[in-house]
């Protein structure tokens, strides 16, 4: 009789354990919070979204473009995202920096800038990199550009399987909203891009569909 009682108790306990296991596995995990599609922020933007930047287009019109690729950048200890797309037969981009606060920069300048046009040489850049001195500067486009950082960097595009590696310098306009980014992939020429600071409230993101 005792043996039967023990078997019954063990059977009940086994059934309870199995029920708990089944309950845990059948309960769906909590879903991630969904973005408010009516009020998307620049940090919510992704490939396929339409991005509108007030007054940043040609002749002070709104700059509207569809982001056809997203690139994640890492340089030194900093990270940012760029969303890029076609606009008036050239490519533009919105750079989103989400650190202590959100900073936005638009790459809209149609000029194909070179390091020589900036008035600096490869040796100048190497010396700035060695010094890592924020007081270093150069003059270009009626402005003084202050050294901000230089470091090994990488960029991962969502339409390419492998990241691209390069060396990166960044300069900020003294008392102004612009920045200049200089990239040097190994075995390739320098690439220069100029960005203008954009207030967060000037950017609207629309998600298709």
State pLDDT tens for residues 58-84.
Answer: 999 999 999 999 999 999 999 999 999
Ramachandran angles phi, psi of 158, nearest 5°: -75, -10
Sorted by sequence, the CB contacts under 8 Å of residue 118 that are 6+ apart come out as 138, 140, 145, 180, 182, 192
What is the reported pLDDT for 10? 43
What is the reported pLDDT for 38? 79
What is the reported pLDDT for 9? 41
What is the reported pLDDT for 22? 45
Provide the Cα torsion 65, 181, 118, 85; round to 10°. -20
Q: How far apart are CA 162 and CA 62, in angstroms?
A: 34
What is the reported pLDDT for 192? 98
Name the stretches of the chain with pLDDT < 50. Answer: 1-2, 5-6, 8-10, 13-14, 17-18, 21-22, 25-28
CA-based R_g, the chain, Å: 26
What is the reported pLDDT for 31? 52
């Amino acid at each position: 009789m005792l043996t039967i009682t023990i078997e019954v108790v063990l059977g009940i306990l086994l059934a309870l354990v199995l029920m708990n296991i089944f309950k845990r596995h059948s309960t769906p995990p909590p879903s991630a919070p969904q973005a408010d599609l009516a009020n998307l922020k620049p940090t919510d933007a992704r490939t396929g979204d339409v991005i509108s930047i007030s007054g940043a287009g040609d002749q002070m019109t709104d700059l509207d473009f569809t982001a056809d690729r997203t690139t994640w950048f890492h340089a030194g200890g900093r990270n940012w995202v760029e969303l890029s797309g076609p606009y008036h037969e050239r490519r533009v981009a919105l750079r989103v920096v989400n650190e202590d606060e959100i900073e936005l920069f638009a790459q809209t300048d149609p000029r194909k800038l070179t390091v020589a046009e900036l008035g600096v040489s490869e040796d100048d850049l190497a010396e700035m990199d060695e010094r890592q001195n924020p007081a270093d500067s150069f003059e270009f486009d009626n402005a003084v550009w202050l050294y901000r950082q230089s470091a090994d960097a990488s960029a991962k595009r969502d339409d390419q399987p492998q990241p691209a590696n390069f060396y990166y310098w960044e300069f900020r306009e003294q008392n102004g909203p612009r920045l200049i980014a200089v990239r040097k992939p190994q075995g390739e020429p320098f690439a220069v891009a100029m960005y203008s600071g954009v207030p967060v409230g000037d950017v609207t993101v629309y998600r298709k569909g």
